[in-house]
Amino acid sequence: KINIMDFMEKHFMQEMSLEEMALYTGRSLSAFKRDFSTFSALSPQKWLIQRRLRAAYDMLAAGAAARVSDACYSVGFKNISHFSRAFRDFYGTTPASLLRHA
């Protein structure tokens, strides 16, 4: 077994199912979810979304992304409308408005 949080931090931008993450960390899916709960009150899926959102925020705020879609896809989101909605819900502003202020 490898450390779940180390694995998640290193691979949060990659497209992987929870089942694949469990396998790579040497756990069954149920053991992965149980062990993950010792690190976070969030589910693994919610943690991934929030981690990706924080990475996108950092990219946009630093001017490291020229377009919203650049940030969206580089942090692991597959759908720009889902990304924009999740970003707005989490930060209270749109990624485009953050990009304009960077």
Mean pLDDT computed over 6-17: 95
Place of tokens 């993950």: 36
Over the stretch 27-79, which tens digit does the pLDDT of each residue have?
999 999 999 999 999 999 999 999 999 999 999 999 898 899 999 999 999 99
Structure tokens given for 70: 């650049």
Percentage of the chain with pLDDT > 90?
A: 89
- The C-alpha atoms of residue 85 and residue 92 are separated, in whole angstroms, by 10
Over the stretch 90-101, which tens digit does the pLDDT of each residue have?
999 999 998 776
The secondary structure of residue 67, as a DSSP letter, is S
What pTM, to 2 d.p., does this model score? 0.92
Burial readout 43-77 (b: 16 or more C-beta within 10 A, e: otherwise): ebeebbbebbbebbbebbeeeebeebeebbbebbb
